[in-house]
Chain A
Amino acid sequence: MPRSKLAGTTNLYALAAFVALAGLFDALYLTIEHLQGRSVRCTATSGCSEVLGSHYAVIGGVPLAAVGAIAYFTVFSLATLIAFGHTRLRSVFRIIVGLMCGTSLWLLYVQAFVLKAFCQYCLLSAGLSLVLGGIVIVDWFLHRGE
């Protein structure tokens, strides 16, 4: 791989690792609040309680935020490894980020049209997932045909 392309990959995945780290702590905060039975107050939107107290916030008894935290940690780890040259992990990274983007879009739909309420922490998480999706697309363009 040419040196400039390698540097581009490193920078891109270093950025992905930082984005995933932000997502990890956002999801971790929501998980802790959920497990402690506290209602999270929104400061920028007004629907945190509606969203986080809804049935969509739990899958089979497990808080969705905890699933998100695991996903973000996985993406963080993969991005870090890829940034350090383990480029074979790129396809796994793309699949997981794709799943996260799909889930985020579904959850945005639920907030907008089913619950009609928005939770700022969930919007942040969705935004970060979509940024990761953007990184995957940029990376795909950079490495087309390889």
Chain B
Amino acid sequence: MKRYLPFVIIAAVLAAVAFVVLFAGGRSAPTPNTNQNLLNIPYRAAAGAEPPHAHGSPNAPVVLEEFGDFECPPCRRLHPVLKQIETGYSGRVRVIFRQLPLSEMHANALPAARASEAAAMQDRFWEMHNLLYEKQDEWKAKPNARLTFVEYARTLGMDADKFARDMDGEAVYDRIIADGQRANSLGVNGTPTVLLNNRELSYADISAAHRFRSLIDAALREKGL
């Protein structure tokens, strides 16, 4: 009997692991996203922060989901391109912004992400989002960019004290992490990354406005529009 005992112990631990994974793991698994445009995302893909920061109709046939870092220069270059697309395809394209601050490369990326989320708590996400990209050169090298962000909040007519408190808060942070986890679960590891109806586009495609548009047109044609 003693000969088999170690194998029995190992099998028992393996069974315990399986039990934990099936029950603890399965009990509170996230509800699959029921949005039509997200149906082909693998079940295990994390949902990201809810509700997402989005422009455009929830029923738009084309969904562009951007994973961005406010301190990343290519993201700043993409910003006006996406704005043009939003305007040019009004009603047909929904643009979602997801936080993916690359802190290991960009010292102020996380504070900037926090600032945009804190602005969202006063319904000024897109205003702060635009300002952060447009003034990237002003804050990206600052040792304490936080003060600049509080100044931006004041400029946008926000309650600066609440903004400063929210920037350091857990709620803001949880959203950034939730977006980061969605990025990880989708295998997104760089910025800017844009998914068009959940298909990742190459940087070459999104950096040239005409190529980007032709892909959106193709997606609209696929939907018969």
Contact = CB atoms under 8 A, between A and B. Distances in A.
* SS class, residues of chain A in contact with chain B: helix
B51 interface: no
A28 B17 CA distance: 8
A49 B178 CA distance: 9
A77 interface: yes
Contacts of A73: 13-14, 17
B184 A32 contact: no
Q: Which of A49, A69, A115 has its CB near the most chain B CB atoms (within 10 A)?
A: A49
Given A21-B13, A76-B10, 13 more contacts: A28-B21, A32-B20, A34-B181, A34-B184, A36-B46, A37-B185, A39-B173, A39-B174, A39-B177, A53-B180, A61-B184, A83-B6, A84-B2
Contacts of B28: 36
A36 B29 contact: yes
Interface in B1-52: 2, 5-6, 9-10, 13-14, 17, 20-21, 24-25, 28-30, 44, 46-48
Interface of B: 2, 5-6, 9-10, 13-14, 17, 20-21, 24-25, 28-30, 44, 46-48, 102-104, 110, 173-174, 176-178, 180-182, 184-185, 187, 189
A120 interface: no
A63 B44 CA distance: 12
B30 A49 contact: no
Contacts of B189: 55, 58
B25 A81 contact: no
Contacts, number: 80
A58 B100 CA distance: 14
B170 to A, nearest CB: 8
Interface of A: 21, 24-25, 28, 32, 34-39, 49-50, 52-55, 57-58, 61, 63, 69, 73, 76-77, 80-81, 83-84, 86, 114-115
Contact of A32 (B21, B47, B176, B185): B21
Contacts of A28: 17, 20-21
A39 B178 contact: yes
A15 to B, nearest CB: 15
A39 B10 contact: no
Contacts of A80: 6, 9-10
Nearest to B45: A37
10 contacts: A28-B21, A32-B21, A32-B25, A35-B44, A35-B185, A49-B174, A53-B180, A55-B104, A57-B184, A84-B2
Given A21-B13, A57-B184, A73-B14, A81 B104 contact: no
A58 B184 contact: yes
Contacts of B182: 37
B168 to A, nearest CB: 11
B177 A84 contact: no
